[in-house]
Chains A and B, each alone.
Chain A
Amino acid sequence: MHRGRGLFVGVIAVLALLLTGITACGGGPRGGGTQLRVLVAVDPQYPEQQRAWLDRVTQRFKAKSGADLTFETFASAGEEQTKIQTSIVSGDGPDVYHLGSTFTPVAFATKGFQVLSEADWQQIGGRDRFVPESLGMSGPDPAHQIGVPVSTRPYGMVYNTAMFRAAGIGAPPAAWDEFVADAKRLNQPAAGVYGTALDYADGYDPWKFIWMFTLQGGGRLVSDDLKQARLDSPEVGASVGAYFDLLTRHHVADPKSVGWRSAQALAAFVNGKAAMLPMVTPNAVPALEGSAVKGQYAFAPMPLVPPGAASRPAGGLAAGTIVSGDNIAIASYSRQKDLALSYLELITSIDEQLDYSQTLGVLPANAEAARRQAEAHPQLAPLVAAERTAVPTTFTGAWSDVQLGLANVVTQSLPALTNGSYDPDAVRGLLAQANQKVQSSLNRQGR
């Protein structure tokens, strides 16, 4: 009995010592005032150019502040979230995080990032230095902003100018019914050419179509007071139907697009197998420039009139693109706030923004840099214009449930789409399930 108790006490003592050691390691002084740790996503499209850019920024930051900049990278959203979660729980990790714009509401909900004061914004250079719409995903309101925009990726469409000319179409469509009409004129299924390329199996694009159609039609995915989920509303059901109808009713896309992801849809366009490709960003430029359609393509904003309508109904928004891009946020546990603000000032300055944009194929969040970028690259002007009409997604911690729920509706409908149809009742059922989960998350947020 004595020996058993002694053994137990010994185990506890060793465990306590180990834990104390670990805690001591984690709780020690961080940085010493001369180092800033930044977490940034690896750019899979331009890895070498990104590494060179990181080196350049490190040198410029050293020259500006005298401090060292240490970049830590992540390769996937899962890795990013694991890093954020462990850092928030342990109170130790990078000082500054590059966050995707649609993840910013979730990051805000964790309370793990510093809300920027007016003085902080002034230190960065003021809100006026940014494209106003790019601030749409910085926080729930101007008084509670955590994210400083560093780049924008507005969504638009790209079309084949040669095909448009051959079909006698003078301009890209401004309404979705016009889009369908144009696509039908451009359709040549016998030749394997379709009016548009779509990517129903993509994990991200489908929910953006449903979001866009819903908002243009006057509906909402979440009520404006953030209390009610609206995924089971008729507007959302109609939007899902309109998205599926492009394939099943209008037949303006390749039937194989049911299994396509964004890369395959882009491949269809660059190979001349589709005349239009909606939901693209400036990231597509390298692929377009290196393809057979080089010199025969142009960007355009997405149509802004919802399917089945001649004009936007009351309450409908000119929602052509979400506010997309990257924000930078400062961790709440960071003791390097001044350095972090200095980094933010540097990286959002005009010269750095132009360098960043040209290196990584994104658009600047800095307003003057965006203007210069559009002047220097006229082909991107329509996307810069699209950014000016960008509509932020609902700023709620439940947004992940919204995204996943809508993506799941499309994923589970793919077998039916393969057979050229879909069951509206089944879609309504899936939307109702998704709505329950979003509502549950909203309720937990409001407790």
Chain B
Amino acid sequence: MSPATVLPGRARGAGPSAPVARPGRRERRPLWLMLPGLALLGLVVVLPFGLAVWMGFLDLDQYTLRDWLGAPFIGLANFTEALTTSTMPHSLWLSVTFALLTTAVAAPIGLVAALTVNGRVPARGLVRSLYLVPYVIPQFATGSLWQMLLQPDGAVNKVLRAFGLEGSNEWLIGPPAFWALVAVDVWASWAFIYLMALAGLQTISTELYEAADLDGVTWRQKVRYVVLPQLRGPLSLGLILSTLQHFNNFTLPFVLFGSPAPEAVNVLPVNIYQTSFQVFRFGLGSAMSVLALIILAIPAWIYLRSVRLDAKPQEAGA
């Protein structure tokens, strides 16, 4: 680390009484180089987000769209409506449950799949490619495909009945629709966890396995004490990203169930779409989006704290 990048008073090993190294004029970091990046950040992230927040305070709909900045300011009314009289709380509950459940089911599948192709196995490249097939199919196509399979006389019911199970005529229209959505989303997305886990597995040194072998550990002990601790970082990242992706999934429920959706699958993204683009309550839709963002930010922040991705370099390295 060059002297120019050492933070004043934070150098590793510097005691409380160590003299503070104040950089001279020439040693100052050229922060102005960040201007283009900051400007882009402002334009791409801060400005749209600020507008979305502002729209949440407006009675913005089809009647006021043309002069949207002049739409009536109604304070927190949209936020209050979103949380009380609208269907948002129900949709939020559905989305949270759906996201957690889908991730919980997809994670072990992805992990086991990664373990099966981590070592030297026959046709490893082919199997790895096949594992990725559901993940690379566009969600629109996945939704269309499963919509056919889940029809009352579709393949899903036929297979279930072949195994002596009852099946259902309501996979796409009634309460079982929720479980259909979970199953299809797990099918389409488990490979993401698989990818993250496999990437993590590739970074584990063979010496660790050899040392474990010398110690005479079983395969299960090897997974428990060698593999999983080493996968903590990539797997945590995979789990949080997967949860967020499931929470935000709009295409799959929209294609599978259409709009209006059955109550059991009226997840938050579909609800916000309906509110904003089918009945044109842009203000209410924005308020719902902002609330959803705040709710999503909580687990994201917990994750960042837990893996210390937000820590300053010297803290992370401490």
- A interface residues (Cβ-Cβ under 8 A, vs B): 3, 7, 10-11, 14-15, 18-19, 78, 81-82, 85, 88-89, 106, 109-112, 201, 203, 256, 258-259, 332, 397, 400-401, 404, 407-408, 411-412, 414-415, 418, 437, 441, 444-445, 447
Contact with A along B132-161 (1 / 0, CB 8 A): 000000000000000000011100000000
Instruction: Say whether, besides A411-B260, A414-B173, A415-B174, A11 and B62 are in contact (CB < 8 Å).
Output: no
- In the complex, are the beta carbons of A7 and B32 less than 8 A apart? yes
- In the complex, are the beta carbons of A112 and B65 less than 8 A apart? yes
Closest to A408 in B: B260
A interface SS class: helix
Provide the residues of chain A in CB contact with B172, threshold 8 Å.
201, 259
- In the complex, are the beta carbons of A437 and B61 less than 8 A apart? no
- In the complex, are the beta carbons of A437 and B279 less than 8 A apart? yes
Q: How far is the CA of A130 from the CA of B241 in the complex (A)?
A: 56
- In the complex, are the beta carbons of A203 and B259 less than 8 A apart? yes
CB B188 to nearest CB in A, in angstroms, measures 21
Provide the residues of chain B in CB contact with A18, threshold 8 Å.
39, 43
Q: How far is the CA of A66 from the CA of B170 in the complex (A)?
A: 58
From B36, B262, B273, contact of A411 by CB (8 A)? B262
- In the complex, are the beta carbons of B258 and A203 less than 8 A apart? yes
- In the complex, are the beta carbons of B170 and A415 less than 8 A apart? yes
Residue B225 CB within 8 A of the other chain: no
- In the complex, are the beta carbons of A14 and B65 less than 8 A apart? no
- In the complex, are the beta carbons of A412 and B42 less than 8 A apart? no
Instruction: Say whether, besides A14-B35, A397-B62, A201 and B173 are in contact (CB < 8 Å).
Output: yes
Q: How far is the CA of A403 from the CA of B260 in the complex (A)?
A: 10
- In the complex, are the beta carbons of A418 and B170 less than 8 A apart? yes
Instruction: Say whether, besides A256-B152, A256-B153, A14 and B36 are in contact (CB < 8 Å).
Output: yes
From B66, B263, B273, B274, contact of A412 by CB (8 A)? B263
Residue B314 CB within 8 A of the other chain: no
Q: How far is the CA of A203 from the CA of B59 in the complex (A)?
A: 28
B interface SS class: loop
CB A325 to nearest CB in B, in angstroms, measures 21
- In the complex, are the beta carbons of A407 and B260 less than 8 A apart? yes
- In the complex, are the beta carbons of B32 and A411 less than 8 A apart? no
Residue B49 CB within 8 A of the other chain: no
CB B49 to nearest CB in A, in angstroms, measures 14
- In the complex, are the beta carbons of B279 and A78 less than 8 A apart? no
For the A-B complex with A18-B39, A106-B62, A110-B63 known, give 18 more contacts whose Cβ atoms are closer than 8 Å: A7-B32, A7-B35, A11-B38, A15-B43, A18-B43, A81-B277, A88-B66, A89-B66, A106-B280, A109-B63, A110-B62, A112-B65, A203-B258, A259-B169, A400-B278, A415-B174, A441-B61, A444-B61
Residue B301 CB within 8 A of the other chain: no
Provide the residues of chain A in CB contact with B38, threshold 8 Å.
7, 11, 14
| Chain B CB within 10 Å, residue with most, of A19, A332, A412 | A412
A-B contact pairs, 22 of them (CB 8 A): A3-B31, A7-B31, A11-B35, A15-B47, A18-B43, A88-B66, A89-B66, A89-B68, A109-B62, A110-B63, A112-B66, A201-B258, A203-B258, A203-B259, A203-B260, A332-B66, A400-B278, A411-B173, A412-B262, A414-B174, A415-B173, A418-B173
Q: Which of B199-215 contact A (CB under 8 A)?
A: none
Residue B239 CB within 8 A of the other chain: no
